[in-house]
C-alpha cells in the first residue's frame, strides 16, 4: 500500500465519524452540483454587476439545465479615502463590494434564501492617476470573484443542509 494512502485512510475514517461529509458528494450528478447548475443569474447593474454576473456564471456551470432557481443580486460598490497626506491628498483607499442576494424558486416565486456577502480591499493611491485607476479596477475584479465564491458557497451549504438556510 502506498505510504500516503496508508496515512490518509485513518483520517478519512475519523472525518466520517465526526459527521463531516463532502460538499459535492456525488460529483457532477450529486444534489449540490445539479442544483447549482439549475440556478439562473438575473442581470446585475453596472460594471461591478457585470463582473459578479460573469463570476457567478463561471462558478454555477449552468450546463443548459432548466432553471429551477433565479439568483437576484443587488450590489453596493464604494471607494472611500483613508489616509491623508500633508497636502490633504488621499494616500490610501478602501474599495468595498457588498451583495444582498436572494435565491428565488421560479416554480412558485418563493424566496428560499436571503443573505449577504461582501469583501473589501485596500488600494495605495500613487502619483500616477492611471496606476490608481488600474489598481481600483483590479481590486473590483478580485472582489467580484470573492463575493461570487461566498454566494455560491452559501447556496451550496443551503442545498447540502436539505434546504435549511445556514446559520449566519
- Tens digits of residue pLDDT in 33-75: 778 888 999 999 999 999 999 999 999 976 677 788 999 999 9
Phi then psi for residue 30, to 5 deg, are -75, 170
Average pLDDT, the chain: 83
CA gap 95, 21 in Å, rounded: 36
Where do the domains of the chain lie?
19-160
19-160: CATH topology: Double Stranded RNA Binding Domain (3.30.160)
| Sequence-ordered list of residues with C-beta below 8 angstroms from that of 115, at least 6 positions apart, any chain | 100, 101, 151, 154, 165, 168
In angstroms, the first-to-last Cα distance of the chain is 43
**Whole-angstrom distance, CA of residue 95 vs CA of residue 147:** 13
C-alpha cell at 152: 455560491
Sequence-ordered list of residues with C-beta below 8 angstroms from that of 101, at least 6 positions apart, any chain: 71, 72, 73, 74, 113, 114, 115, 116, 117, 151
Asked if the model's pLDDT at residue 20 lies above 80, the reply is no
pLDDT at 2: 52
Distance CA 84, CA 125 (A): 10
The conformation of residue 157, written as its DSSP 8-state character, comes to H
Q: Residue 85: name the closest of 124, 116, 29 by CA.
A: 124
Would you state the cell numbers that stand for residue 67, as one nine-digit string? 432553471
Question: pLDDT of 110-148, one tens digit each?
Answer: 999 999 999 999 998 988 889 999 999 999 999 999 999
Query: Could you tell me how far CA 53 lies from the centroid of its own chain?
Result: 10
Amino acid at each position: 500500500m502506498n505510504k500516503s494512502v496508508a496515512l490518509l485512510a485513518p483520517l478519512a475514517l475519523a472525518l466520517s465519524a465526526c459527521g463531516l461529509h463532502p460538499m459535492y458528494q456525488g460529483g457532477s450528478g450529486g444534489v449540490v452540483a445539479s442544483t447549482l447548475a439549475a440556478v439562473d443569474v438575473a442581470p446585475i447593474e453596472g460594471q461591478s454587476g457585470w463582473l459578479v454576473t460573469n463570476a457567478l456564471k463561471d462558478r454555477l456551470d449552468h450546463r443548459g439545465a432548466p432553471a429551477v432557481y433565479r439568483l437576484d443580486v443587488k450590489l453596493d460598490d464604494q471607494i472611500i479615502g483613508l489616509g491623508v497626506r500633508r497636502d490633504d491628498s488621499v494616500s490610501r483607499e478602501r474599495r468595498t463590494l457588498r451583495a444582498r442576494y436572494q435565491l428565488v424558486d421560479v416554480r412558485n416565486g418563493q424566496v428560499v434564501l436571503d443573505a449577504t456577502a461582501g469583501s473589501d480591499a485596500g488600494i495605495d493611491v500613487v502619483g500616477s492617476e492611471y496606476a490608481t485607476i488600474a489598481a481600483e479596477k483590479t481590486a473590483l475584479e478580485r472582489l467580484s470573484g470573492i463575493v461570487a465564491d461566498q454566494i455560491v458557497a452559501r447556496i451550496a451549504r443551503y442545498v447540502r443542509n436539505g434546504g435549511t438556510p445556514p446559520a449566519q
